[in-house]
Amino acid sequence: MDLDAVTKQSALHAKPDGLTLQYGTAGFRTKAEHLDHVMFRMGLLAVLRSKQTKSTIGVMVTASHNPEEDNGVKLVDPLGEMLAPSWEEHATCLANAEEQELPRVLLDISEKAAVNLHQDAFVVVGRDTRPSSEKLSQSVIDGVTVLGGQFHDYGLLTTPQLHYMVYCRNTSGRYGKATIEGYYQKLSTAFVELTKQAFCSGDDQRTLKVDCANGIGALKLREMKHYFSQGLSVQLFNDGTEGKLNHLCGADFVKSHQKPPQGIEMKSNERCCSFDGDADRIIYYYHDADGQFHLVDGDKIAALISGFLKEPLLEIGDSLSLGVVQTAYANGSSTRYLEEVMKVPVCCTKTGVKHLHHKAQEFDIGVYFEANGHGTVLFSKAAEMKIKQLAEELEEDKKRKAAKMLENVIDLFNQVADRQVISTTDAERQAVKPPGLQEAINELVKKYRLSRAFVRPSGTEDIVRVYAEADSQENADSLAYEVSLAVFQLAGGIGERPQPAESPEQFLDDSPLFS
């Protein structure tokens, strides 16, 4: 490891004085102009991780659902997973090291992680469509090359595509070809096979309207949709030709505001969905015959998938274990539906796909979706063998039953001076600091039927997220407001005090607290 060369190159990617960042659930994420040094150093770290694992490591330049002026970076481990927790600590330490400390920190990481510095390293890099992403991606490559690592720059990719590339390269092609065409062929073939016997009312050709959040999903879905020429017609909206990334569109906007994105016209009972900026979230929605908006978020998607899988398993009397993994943000009624009606075990983990993924691996078939649309289904080897035998799909009325869940949920955020003043336990559902906050929340929850509420610090910003649900939208709004006040008073809130919502629609549209 040529530390002199690292020091010289690092001077071209100097760290701003006083800037401190933390590798959170989504990697590093902040304003793009503050990230050049972080990108360079994550290139360095990716090389060390590649050497330590003797595997290809991925680096994705994206800030997902954040505004266009933000950016971020996250590393992908050998089997397409999120970066191991111990290496998240290394990432934070390396990103925050002052220039003169950088060589020592690199040596410390190498020693603690038992990195063989003579081992070859290979890193693959992808980026989203943000204006800042190309330059920041080059900073990653600068970090890779100065430590002697080899790399392949895939250029514009969705986040799931980069995860796929890493997994393919580390399984010697057994999972699939590590190319864009290989990705399209694998997923489209599986989709067509799965839906051959699917019930479809009306036209033989299914139509899906897709809000692409003015992001990378538009470019890649436009390429991929030709592979679905039989049986699926995809119409793209918010494709980046006019609007800004994630502005008044995308999965996070639709989930938070409980209404369609701008730029898409919906007729009754049309299938519609939204990606986020890097296309690793998806949520569905539609208008019924009366014009009422219905959201099929991650909680409902998990229930639909679980029902789809559980019935044929019961019919064949198979002993494969099926379980759903949720976070504290899951709608409580979805948890009750899964456990009490569908009789499917439900586990709760901390927020973040990495936590859900790990827990889901404990089942033969593990279903996990965050309410925001992050999620997937995992199959053990035994389950893969069995699932090939299951071709029947649930009838349409059973799917509708699975989607009948309470929607009286609200999710806010409060701005605070220091988010770390709050710490939590019990999968982030109980606040242990500051003193008195959890007690205040408990007393507020007692005032409302079928209610619960919790708070947690954001992983990327100095805000505290407030979640509340109750037996009606009005009560959910009221509980969220009261909990927000408690956070503001007990956790060092800054800016304007939280204000009560005059009506659900006005609150969702106008509240400066709404995330």
Catalytic residues: 64
Alpha-carbon distance 369 to 297, whole Å? 9
Alpha-carbon distance 251 to 371, whole Å? 11
- Residue stretches of the annotated binding site for substrate: 370-372, 456-460, 465
If you ran DSSP here, which 8-state letter would residue 370 be given? -
If you ran DSSP here, which 8-state letter would residue 268 be given? B
* Maximum separation of any 2 CA atoms in the chain, in Å: 69
SS3 for 236? strand
Do the beta carbons of residue 402 and residue 304 sit within 8 Å?
Answer: yes
Do the beta carbons of residue 455 and residue 464 sit within 8 Å?
Answer: yes
Tokens 């839906």, located at residue: 195
If you ran DSSP here, which 8-state letter would residue 339 be given? I
- Residue stretches of the annotated binding site: 64, 276, 278, 280, 370-372, 456-460, 465
Do the beta carbons of residue 351 and residue 465 sit within 8 Å?
Answer: no
14: left (phi over 0), alpha (psi -120 to 50) or beta: beta
Do the beta carbons of residue 301 and residue 284 sit within 8 Å?
Answer: yes
Do the beta carbons of residue 42 and residue 75 sit within 8 Å?
Answer: yes
What is the amino acid identity at position 24? G
Q: CA-CA-CA-CA torsion for 432, 437, 438, 441, nearest 10 degrees?
A: -160
Tokens 């927790």, located at residue: 85
84: which 2 tokens?
A: 């191991």
Main-chain phi, psi angles of 258, to 5 degrees: 55, 45
Let me know the angle formed at the C-alpha of 174 by 171 and 177, rounded to the nearest 5 degrees.
95
Alpha-carbon distance 277 to 246, whole Å? 6
The dihedral through the CA atoms of 397, 399, 405, 410 has a sign that is negative
Q: What is the DSSP code string of 400-447?
A: HHHT-----EEEEEEEBS-GGG-EEETTTTEEEESTTHHHHHHHHHTT
Q: CA-CA-CA-CA torsion for 247, 251, 257, 259, nearest 10 degrees?
A: 100
Adjacency order of strands within the sheet including 463-469: 409-415, 463-469, 452-457
